[in-house]
Structure 1
Amino acid sequence: MSAENTYKKLLPLAKYWLKELDFYGTNQFKKKVTEKSWTIGQIYDHLLIYSQEVHIKAIQECLAQKDTNSKEGKSFKGFFQFLFKGYMPFKYKSNPYKEPGQPLSTEKVKDDFYRFLKLVYKTAKEIDYKKPTAKVKHPSFGYLSAEEWFALIEMHFRHHLRQKNKLDVEVRSNYKQTESKDFDDIPDIPFHEM
């Protein structure tokens, strides 16, 4: 498995997430369906922040180490995660990120997303160039290599599609919500001139 191949799998998925931002107005992006549910904006925030602060950070640790923990392996849960090439279809706790932040706008998320994709591309190139053998422990999946941590990014984006699609039913229309204008902005035209 190469990071470049994983990046090629991630790219169409990332483009889908980016394109979907065009269908949310401000209210839709920030709407909570229940008190405990996340907003669409929070899902995006979680994907970008968690991937950088957990996945990319672990990859950087693998790249910096010489050959420590390379004999350690995956846990039972980790074995199945990679056997099925994805997260199992149930909720996971995302400590230490109990509740993601609410981005200010879809435009801000798009900017962050483009920066994230550049970072992911650069990281893939670095993994394939250096071919690190070190492993870093994942709290649930055991010891993972840089390539495996990188694969988790794509799996994570795919995993949250279910959550997004479920929330979309409640939040989104087929057209982007636009800001409503006051009727005072409409010029008064006498009826007989129409």
Structure 2
Amino acid sequence: MTYSDLIKSYIHDLQKYTAEQLRFKFSEEVWSLGQMYDHMIAAALDYLDQVEKCAYGGEKEQAVKTEAGERLFALGSFPPVKIKLPDGPANSPCNSDSKEELARRLEHVLERMQEWEKKLNRIHPDSKVRHGGFGWLNAREWFELSGMHFRHHRAQQRELEQRLGL
């Protein structure tokens, strides 16, 4: 599934949730569907900001990915395991956006991805920005990371929907 089809499917899926279902948390340790959506959007926008940095002044680096980064890109996806982010405000997604707001924000991500996809071939592959866990990534890798991240959260979405009886 392309990133475009995937994002459109997330937008479509929003329509089946009530406001209560979107915000419902099964426990303090588990995100709601709304928080998962907010997290995916925030991460995608951050990754696209890194694509832009690569395009307009990333460091010309021969530096490489970390071992985790090499594995990730060799697989073409995040491993099928739950990842616990460190506690803190940066990792506490919003749980108050409406379906309409989340859909609007996803449309914005889709537009930005479509804009950058057209420019990727013109960005030098040695222009890189460092990712904290995966090492030095170029624009294409940051772009691909966004799609991988959306695919990774599909399992979480299905699990949360199951728990809601959807």
In the alignment, what sits opposite 1:57? 49
After superposition, the C-alpha distances for 1:114-156 in whole angstroms (9 at most, x for unaligned) are: 1221111111122223445311111111111100010000000
Distance 2:59 2:23 in 1: 45
The structure 2 residue matched to 1:163, chosen from 150, 156, 166, is 156
In the alignment, what sits opposite 2:83? 92
The structure 2 residue matched to 1:124, chosen from 96, 117, 139, is 117
After superposition, the C-alpha distances for 1:95-124 in whole angstroms (9 at most, x for unaligned) are: 662210114310111111112211111111
In the alignment, what sits opposite 1:75? 66
Distance 2:82 2:103 in 1: 26
The structure 1 residue matched to 2:103, chosen from 102, 110, 115, is 110
Shift of residue 66, structure 1, vs aligned partner: 6.3
Shift of residue 80, structure 1, vs aligned partner: 0.7
Aligned residues: 164
Q: Which amino acid aligns with 1:65?
A: G
Distance 2:38 2:130 in 1: 24
Aligned runs of 1:182-193 on 2, under 5 Å?
none
Contact 1:103–1:109 (Cα < 8 Å) also in 2: no
The structure 2 residue matched to 1:149, chosen from 142, 154, 166, is 142
Contact 2:39–2:93 (Cα < 8 Å) also in 1: yes
- Listed as ranges, the gaps of 5+ residues in structure 1 are 1-7, 174-194
Q: Which moved more, 1:104-113 or 1:80-89?
A: 104-113
Q: Helix, strand or coil for the counterpart of 2:116?
A: helix
After superposition, the C-alpha distances for 1:18-48 in whole angstroms (9 at most, x for unaligned) are: 1111110011011001121101001110011
Q: Residues 123 and 17 from structure 1, CA distance in 2 versus in 1: closer, same or farther, beyond 3 angstroms?
A: same
Contact 2:58–2:129 (Cα < 8 Å) also in 1: no
Q: Helix, strand or coil for the counterpart of 2:122?
A: helix
Q: CA RMSD in A?
A: 1.8
Q: Which amino acid aligns with 1:89?
A: P
In the alignment, what sits opposite 1:12? 5
Sequence identity percentage: 27
The structure 1 residue matched to 2:37, chosen from 37, 44, 65, is 44
- Listed as ranges, the gaps of 5+ residues in structure 2 are none
Larger Rg: 1 or 2? 1
Contact 1:134–1:146 (Cα < 8 Å) also in 2: yes
Q: Helix, strand or coil for the counterpart of 1:23?
A: coil
